[in-house]
Structure formats: structure tokens, C-alpha cells
Chain A
Amino acid sequence: MSAFLAAAILVPIVVGSLLVLFRRLPRAARNTIAVLASATTLVLVVMLWFRAGSGSHALWQMGILRVLPSPLMVVDGVGLLLASVFAFVWLLATLYSTSYLKDHEFQDDYFGFLLVMLGAIVGLCFARNLLAMYLFWELAGIATWRLVAFYRSEKEIAAAQKALLITFAGSVLMLIGFAFVFVQHQTFSPGQLTGPTISPWAMFLILLGILTKSASVPMHIWVPDAQSAAPLSVGALLSGVVEKAGLIVYVRLFILSPIVLPDWWPLLIGGVGVVSSLLAAGGALQARDYKRVLAYSTISQLGYIFIGFAFVSSFGLAAGLAYIVAHCLAKAGLFMAMGVVERSTGQHRLAELSGLAKSMPVTAAATAVLMLSVIGFPPFLGFWAKLYVILAAVRGNLVIAIGALIAAVMTALYMIRLYRIFLGEPRPGVVGRESGLMTAIVVLLAAATVALGVILPFLGRFLEATTGVAGV
């Protein structure tokens, strides 16, 4: 049992490190290894489902490091759900990258760090110990730094530095917060705290770290630069998966733990969430290239998830989790769709693109589906997620709920603005072209969004069981 989990974490990390170290492999072999390694991870994570069963949390605990007085990892519904979705998207992104980046240098580096980051994310999904969390967290941060600077020009390196410095500052603050917890409770495991409260300072510092990684006001500023510098496949993973890392820690530490949150806490988190989502929606409305639109949109959507998590007593946790899954699939798909556009037209600026639906109808249709899911229209997955978040918010605080709805309308506005690149008359000289594998992956993600959106009501009981939080 523990072997599966250890393998799911270690296989990608080890294979990835080897890829980075030994760069002489032929292209085909390297790509095959990378894809196989991420496929193996996915299979291992899925096998954990059958081993673990479902329906309760803290099913099974693993202690590799006996020196630490608490179990390091835990396999529970939340971890399994997120890890499976993330590994699935990761596999698709790896496949996608083999085609998307095939004309570029530094691919060994790229695929190596991609795998390392996958291992770190899977580890983070199941980590239960604060130090383990910190470890995986930093590993993902370093991989991000390398991946953002993939193109290695001045601008990209600057953006990567900015991302590294800010996220590192955030995680140091978080580490100080963890130290506070340890001093107070003599443990790094949220499950073994000696009392139900931790000091507000610790909470505040940890929150700052979480906000940095999960790109929320006021620690969000690395995201637009990093994501417009990174290749779109990295952008897909950053906004679909990596920026959810903070949320995972939030769930483990503040929701699925015995810590009693102070009264003002939901309002603070909800406030951060609503300000984030409004501000970033404004940024997305004004951004001039599609990479930045999507980057700001990610910040905005992360704000939404925080709103869901803020009012956790009712629908909150299910809302946030559904939103994480919906956003992961849809936003990764959107980034990859833009990758198809980028590769055939070489353009990033919205003003230069128009009428692409005529030359790339499949991508246009898939993009429409993904876009509508992000906006939150049925029958796509995003609808249920948004419905749950609004329900949670109305229960919590009406002002925040109204702010969230305004952000939703702004989402519709900027997504439509983005979609203009497909509509209207084609611009002479700018012709899109579908690209077999890449388009197929975008379509697959769109299909997943539709399929999950249609069957989600039937998964409702399952969600309740996984989260272990009672409904109304």
C-alpha cells in the first residue's frame, strides 16, 4: 500500500531528475520516457483509489521518517480526487508538449522539471505533515522557476526570477508560521495539535504563504508576468494545477483539521477572494494578449475558490473542490487551445487575431465549451461549481456573494472578448491551422468538462462522502 504512494511520488521525481542530469537521450526516447513516467504516475494514483476504498478520510497513514512523531502522508478522498485530476491533466500536458515544443531547445530540462513538479504536486496532495508540505511546495517552486524561463530570453528570465523571489518569500513566511505552530504544539502534524487553536500570527503568516502560491491579492503579482513568459503548456499546468497548491494546504490545515477558526476568519478569506476575483477580472478585461487574459482569469477564479472555502460550514468544501476540478480542466484546456493558435499564427496579441474559427473550427468549438465552463454556464462542469460557491457565499455573507456575481459577469465579458479571435472576418496573412495531437487533447479536455458537468449531479453523493462534510 505505502509502496504505491511512494512510487507515485518518487517515480516522476527520480525519472525527472535523471532526465535533467543525462541530457544525451535521443528525442523520441526522451519523450517516450517522459510520457510513460507521467502515465505511470496517473495509473499509480488511480490504483490508490481501489486500495484505499472511499468514503472516509484518514484511511491509511504512512510513516517513512520515524524520527518525526507523526504520520507524514495520508490517503483520503480529497487527496485522491485532486491527485487523479491533476495527474490526468499532467499526462495530457506532457503529451501536448511533445508536439507543442518540438522546435525548441532545452527540452531535456523541460521534461525533467515537468516530471519533478508532478511528483511534488502528487506528494502535496497527500502530505499531512507541515514539513512534508513545505518540502513538496519548494520543490514545485524551483521547478516552476526553471519552466517559466524555458525560452531563456531576457524577459522570460526576469519573469521567472520575479516568480521565484515572490513565491520564495511567501513560503519562508509560511515556514515561520509552521515554526510558530511547532513551538506552540510540539508537532508538525495538524492532526496532533494539543489544542484547537493556533496563534493568529501563525495563521496569518501561513495564509500569506498560501496566498502567494495560489496567486491571490496582495501576493498575486508574479502570476501575470510568469504566465505570459512561460510556454503555454507550462501556463496550463501553472494555472490548472500548481497554483492550486496553496489551496491544498489550506484545505489540509484550516478545513480538514481540528483547528477552530476565529470568527473573523471567513470574512477575511472571503474578502480576499472577492477582491482578488474582481481585480483580476478587471485585469483580464484590459489585457492585450491572450496569455495575460488567461493569467488574470486564473487569479480571478482562484479568488472564487477562496470564497467557497471561506464559508466552509455548508457547501463550502464541496464547492471549492468542484471548482478546483472544473477550473483545472477548463483552464488547462484554454491554455492549450491558445497554444494551438500560437503555434500556427505566432501571434499573442488579441488585436492581431480574428476570424480563426474558419481555419480552425475544432479548436474554436472546444474553446467555446471550455470558455463557457469557466464562465459557469450549464451543462458544463463550471456551472455546478459556481452554483455551489454562490450558495456557500449567500450563506456566509451577502455582500461577498454579490461581489462574486459581479466578478462572474466580468468573467463573461472578458471571455467573450478573448473569443473574438475566433469570430468575425479572418485577417489576411493570419491563418490558423489545427494540429493533430494538440487539438485532440484540447477536445478531450472539453469533452471531460461536458461529461463531468452532465454527470456531476449524480456524483453528488460521492462528493459528500469524499469531503466528509455533511450537506445542508
Chain B
Amino acid sequence: MTPLLLVVLVPIAAGLFGWLIGRLRNEFSFIGAVLTLYFAVRLFISSRGSPAVFELVRFTGLNVSFRLDALSGFVLLFVAAFGVLVTLFSFRYMKSWTGVRGYFLYVMLALAGANGVLLAANLPTLLFFWGLLLVLLYGILLVGRTGAERAASKALVIVGLSDFAMLLGVALLLVKNGWVDLVPRAPMPLNDPLMITAFVLVAVGALAKAGSMPLHSWIPQASETSPATVMALIPASIDKLLGIYLLTRLSVSMFNIASNMALRNVLMAVGAVTILGGVIMALVQKRVTRLLSFHAVSQVGYMVLGIGTGTPIGIAGGLFHMLNNSIYKTGLFLSSGTVEHWTKTDEIDKLGGLARQMPLTFFSFLVCAMAIAGVPPLNGFVSKWMVYQGVVEIAREGNRLFPVFLVAAMLGSVLTLASFLKLLHAVFFGQRPAELSRVREGGFTMWLPTISLALLCIAFGVFAYWLPLRHLIYPSLPFDVDPIGIWQPELVTVLMFIALGVGAVIYLLGTARKPVAGRTFVGGERIADNEESRVTGTAFYSSVKNLPVLGDLLRFGEAGSFDLFNWVRGVLGGLGSALRVVLDETIDKAFGLLGRFVLVVGAGVSKLMTGMLPLYVSWVFFGAALFYLILVLR
């Protein structure tokens, strides 16, 4: 059997076996994930050559077929890799959760679905696996704490809404154009209003999957009730990879987004709003996973912004940022999962001072946090830098809006750094609450995945050009990316290490210690638990809440006023009730009136039935006379 099929079928089989034979669940899942990775690696290697096509079945103008090329090959590789890491991490982490049986099945099926999406050669095939993933998302979100069903329902409705939008887009393309291949011979220009509509509809599906605003609201809600591994696997890695994969396909191979400036501006605006909206919401969060989930939303903005620029460097940057984000965001969610697993809480106020007890987790969290904040020389910096360049490049085409997008992107970066400084301080530094004194590092199944992700962040940052860009990103795009603006991360790294070394020498010499004046702490005093003596993580940026306009917006946001789900539910509910009241009840009343009318007429007629023969006879005569008159008068 061809690996194209196996990479989809193997995880399904592993998941089903693990589900049926609960005792060997971990073994089956792990073997399934590793085998999937093996086939993905084989596919990745073969995808370096010319694209491979495999037709499963064809009927009535649709065909279900697979296609493998450079872009799907590398995304496939990473989906499988995240699958292995998350499965490994889950063994220990999921022990404290209920519903583990279904969890591993869903994880395996989600891998299969994701592989199916990536291999789909045309939009109907893609749509099939896309919807399958949504069903699995619903299932996997139900595995969680009390209230999980609300998040799951919200996800099903929001992503389902976008799926149906996509369905309409696909139908439009199929009907009006006759093809729905993801990679046609040449990209279509985007100037016909119908094509633009189709593009927008399918892009809505892609953006909803990636978690862009305004289709993001299920992600923060799910983060409160779902296991960190679910967040790491679905919204942080698979969903980002697939959503941006589709957006790239759509903007680069199916259509040529560069040909429509207005659409590019819209995409860039969506990106910019997502970056800022997500990060500002993140600043005021009180729980680690919820905070991370807002960053998961915010980071999508960079990818959308990059692809929206329509310039080669911007698109490459967006794609690279997708890869980087899935690496460090998975790392962050998994690290926070480790912390939560051992401390039994993810409320920022209850954490603190864990760096010494959990050095490995601290290291991976630190690296991933610096990567997401875009600190050089980590990978997040490189891709953001490419996105900035893409934005600057549109200025050359005469786009006056570019400063707005640039400022939004850079401001977002600064605020991300601020947000993560707060989180690092609150979780790993600061004061350690007494009840956390026995917390320690977990087994290797928990630290190995996080550490490898952190190392990947460093490798993809320092050797950005030699590894990922040259071998993964550039071959996936049908155009040459102008590499002039690429900075020299190797050189900077060397310089930074020199600087660090100098700093360490100075520190070790010990001459630079600055005396601190204050009341001497002799021990035994109680530390007042107020904001002056212990700056808690949540109070770190409380001043943001007091700003006039922004504060109101934040309050609205936290109350769900910007939640598309609430809007959809309200509007459709209203429409439904209006229709029901207007039509249903009116028709029901009309039928009731009809019945009443028949009864009244019947009662009137029955009054004539008196049982007196002469009366009946006279009626007959009267009728006959009437007939006679009618016949004669004609």
C-alpha cells in the first residue's frame, strides 16, 4: 500500500486498537504515532522530487484523490512530529484526567484527519477531512473539567459555521469554474466578484481553523476546561498548521493574491487586529493556559499579516512563522501542563518561584517564551523579521497603509514580551507559595518533549537560513524569495555569547554588587500579602485596565461582547423565533379558523334540518326552481 494511504490509515488503526484494548492503549498510541512519523518522513523525502498524485475514487465530477508536494510534505512531517511528542507527554499528564480512553482515540484520529487534509488534492476531499477534524475537535474538547461541553459546543458552532461557509465557497468554485484542485496549472487572478466571494468564503474556513479573530473565541474558553495537551495539539499546532497551510495554498497556488490589493489590505487588517486584540486580552489574564491561548490567537495575526502582504518575503515569513509558532506554542502549552500537573493549579496568583525546582521545564518555557516574544536569535524573531520586511515591501507598491500594519505588528511584539515577562516572573520567579515546596520535575516523558521543542526553537533561530528556510519554506513556494533582507543570526549568536561571557566574568568577579538599603530582614516576620510586598502576576499590568477606552474594551471582551458565537446564536435564534412566530403560529391559527368556520357553517346548516317533511319538500322545490331559472335564462 502506498505511504500516502498508510499515513492516514495507520493512526486510525492504532487509535481503534488502543480504544478497544484499553490495557495496551499507551503502547498502541505511541507505536501508531511513531509509525505515522516514519511514513511522514518517507513522504517528506519523496516530496522533494516532483509531486505525487494518487486517485482514490472518482464520480459525478468529484474525485477523491491525494497529492503530495513540497508544502504538504513538510507540514505533514511536523504534524506527525507533534503527534509523537504530545502522545509521549500525555502518558503521564493524562493520568489525572477522566475520559482518557476517548482522548487517545481522538488524538490518533485527529492525526489521521490532519494528514488527510494535507494530502487532499482538491477541495471536496479536503473538506471531508476538515469536517472530520471538527467532529474530533468536539469530541476531544468534551474530555475535560466541568463546563467542557460549553467550550466544545462553542467550537462546534464557530468552526462549523466556517465549515459551511467553506462548503458554499467550494460549491461556487465547482459550479462556476469546473475545477476545485488545490494546485491548478496556474493560479487564478482575483478580479471576478464571484471568484473573490469564493476566495473569501474558503479563507474564512482557513482563518477559523487557524484561530484568527473574530473566529477565535472558542480557544480561550476551551483552555479553561481542557487538558494542556489538547491545547498543545489542536489549537497550538495542528490547527495552526492546517489553517495557514490552506491559506497559503489558497493565496499562492489556487489564486494569486498579489493581484488584488483590496483583498490583501483586508487580510492584513485582519492580521493586525488579531495581533493586537489577542495580546491585549492576554495581558489581563489570570490563568496560565488562558493567557497562552490568547497568545495562540495573537500569533496567528503575524501569519495572516505576512500572507496578506502578498509579497514573496511576507508569504515566506508567514509560513515560517506558522512553523515556528507551532513549535514554541506547543512547547509553552506542554511546559505549562507540566507545571499544572505537579502544582494542581494554573492560576497565576497561586504559582511562583518554581525555577529552581523545575529547571528543565523552566528552561524550555524560557526559550519558548523568548521565541514567541521575538527575541533574537530565536526562531520567532526571524519569521517576524521577514513579516516586517513583507509589510515594508508593500510600501514600494504604493500602499499607504503600511505604517499602520507595521506599528501594529511591532507593538504586538513588545506587548507579547511584556506579557511573557509577567508570566515568567509569576510562575518561575517571585515568591514560592508554601504549598508548592514539594513540587519537582516530572519524568522524561514530560521533559523530553518540552526540551526538544525548546532546542528546536534555538536551532531554527540560529540556523534559520541553513535549516528551515532553505529546506522547508523556500521549496514550498512557487516563487523565488528575495533573501537580501535575511539577517545573520549566526554572527549575532556568536556576539551574544561573547557578551554573555563578559557579563558572567564581571558577575563572578563580584565587584559590581550594589548595596540595597532597607529594613533588614531578620527572619520570622510575616510578609504581608499585599500588592506592595508581593507583586503578583495578575497585578503586573493592572494599570492597563485603568486606561479609559482600552479598559472598557477589555471589560467588554472579557464579558463576551466580541464573541462571534454569542452574536451568531443571538441573530439566528432571533431569526428562528421571528420566523416561527410569524409563520408557524399564523398558519396554525389559520387552520384553527378554518376549522371554526366549518363548524359554524355546519351548525348553521344543521339548524335547517328540523325533521319537518314539508320544509324539506319546499327546499327541493326551491332548488329545482333555481335550476330551472338558471337553465332557462341562459
Contact = CB atoms under 8 A, between A and B. Distances in A.
B88 to A, nearest CB: 27
Contacts of A279: 576, 579-580, 583-584
B171 interface: yes
A458 interface: yes
A218 B579 CA distance: 12
B577 A458 contact: no
Interface stretch (A115-123, A172-180, A387-395): A387-395
Contacts of A412: 156-157, 160-161
Nearest to B161: A409
Interface string B411-453: 0000000000000000000000000000000000000000000
B171 A416 contact: no
A394 B168 contact: yes
A391 B131 contact: no
Contacts of A390: 167-168, 171
A166 B135 contact: no
Contact of A282 (B142, B161, B580): B580
B413 to A, nearest CB: 36
A386 B178 CA distance: 19
B151 to A, nearest CB: 11
Contacts of B124: 387
A472 interface: yes
A410 B171 contact: no
A282 B578 contact: yes
Contacts of A368: 139
A401 B579 contact: no
A259 interface: no
B568 interface: yes
Contacts, number: 143
B131 A383 contact: yes
A21 interface: no
Interface stretch (B55-63, B206-214, B391-399): B55-63
Given A221-B588, A409-B157, A278 B576 contact: yes
A134 B579 CA distance: 32
B64 interface: yes
Nearest to B590: A218
B164 interface: yes
A282 B587 contact: no
B584 A377 contact: no
Given A387-B124, A405-B164, A410-B572, A464 B580 contact: no
Contacts of B60: 315, 318, 460, 463-464, 471-472
B110 to A, nearest CB: 13
A358 B60 CA distance: 44
Contact of A372 (B135, B146, B172, B577): B135
A114 interface: no
Interface stretch (A75-83, A185-193, A420-428): A420-428
B291 interface: no
B381 interface: no
Contacts of A464: 59-60
A377 B572 contact: no
Interface in B131-151: 131-132, 134-135, 138-139, 142, 146, 149
Contacts of B139: 368
A275 B165 contact: no
B596 interface: no
Interface string A265-280: 0000000000100110
Contact of B59 (A378, A402, A461): A461
A387 B127 contact: yes
B129 interface: yes
Contacts of A423: 142, 149
Contact of B579 (A282, A375, A402, A471): A282
Contacts of B587: 217-218, 220-221
Contacts of A284: 576
A408 B168 CA distance: 11
A424 B149 contact: yes
Interface in A424-472: 424-425, 457-458, 460-461, 463-464, 471-472
Interface in B550-592: 568-569, 572-573, 575-580, 583-584, 587-588, 591
Interface in A239-295: 275, 278-279, 281-286
A383 B160 CA distance: 12
B443 to A, nearest CB: 31
B160 A409 contact: yes
Contacts of A217: 583, 587
A221 B591 contact: yes
B153 interface: yes
Given A378-B129, A402-B168, A416-B157, 19 more contacts: A221-B584, A221-B587, A221-B588, A282-B573, A282-B576, A283-B584, A368-B139, A372-B135, A387-B124, A387-B127, A405-B165, A412-B157, A413-B569, A413-B573, A423-B142, A457-B62, A460-B59, A463-B60, A472-B178
10 contacts: A165-B595, A368-B139, A386-B167, A391-B171, A391-B175, A394-B168, A409-B157, A409-B164, A416-B153, A460-B62
The 7 closest A-B pairs by CB, nearest first: A282-B576, A460-B59, A472-B61, A423-B149, A471-B60, A394-B171, A378-B131
Interface of B: 56-57, 59-62, 64, 124, 127-129, 131-132, 134-135, 138-139, 142, 146, 149, 153, 156-157, 160-161, 163-165, 167-168, 171-172, 174-175, 178, 568-569, 572-573, 575-580, 583-584, 587-588, 591, 595
